[in-house]
A = this chain, B = another copy of it.
Amino acid sequence: MTVNFYAIKDEVRILGFDDGPFKRGDKNTLVVGAVYRGGRWMDGVMSTRVSVDGLDSSEKLIKLVADRRFMDVRVVMVDGIAFGGFNIVDINRVYEETGVPVIAVTRHMPDFKKIRAALKHLPDWQKRWTLIKKAGLPKPVETKPGKRIHIQNAGISPPDAESIVKISSTRSLLPEPLRMAHLIARGIVSGQSRGNA
């Protein structure tokens, strides 16, 4: 099942999540959500904390997405499907429990062999690996001429997901909601952040 977008407006409301940096020994890390109208401007910010290498990121995101103040959000984006180390976001579950489609964006194609090897040091590693496989293989999208990023999606058709990613990547290769969530999370946790766009 997918949500059908009959026409995608330039100002489609997107909620983009990224996590902040954390240090060895930190129990949890900041996750910031930036509410955007397309790739144009930001009109809301939300935040939560997820446990480092924990299993609570899907639940935490679902809670934020379901907030009634943000009911006009049409798409959720996540910067990769792993927050706070290997706290894997189950993008299908986020879609199923909120009704809002999810697009995961990564700049480069993940190295799944390496990820699998690293996962094995963690408890419940099979559970995490299952979530990663369930999210499907990232597909390339050209957001600037000759430059590709990679996306996975849940609850939305690949062409619709691709359109939304392209519409919202106005300033850099990445969709603005994710670029902003990244800048904010870094700036709050480490005291400063600077884009290189």
Contacts and interface: CB of A to CB of B under 8 A. Distances in A.
B46 A191 contact: yes
Interface string A51-81: 0000000000000100101100000000000
Contacts of A197: 43
A44 B195 CA distance: 6
Interface in A34-51: 35, 41-48
B188 A47 contact: yes
Given A32-B188, A192-B69, A45 B171 contact: no
A176 to B, nearest CB: 8
Interface string A7-47: 00000000000000000000000101101000001111111
24 contacts: A30-B188, A32-B187, A35-B194, A41-B171, A43-B183, A43-B195, A43-B197, A44-B192, A44-B193, A44-B194, A45-B183, A45-B184, A46-B191, A46-B192, A46-B193, A47-B187, A47-B192, A64-B191, A67-B192, A69-B192, A69-B194, A70-B192, A184-B184, A188-B188
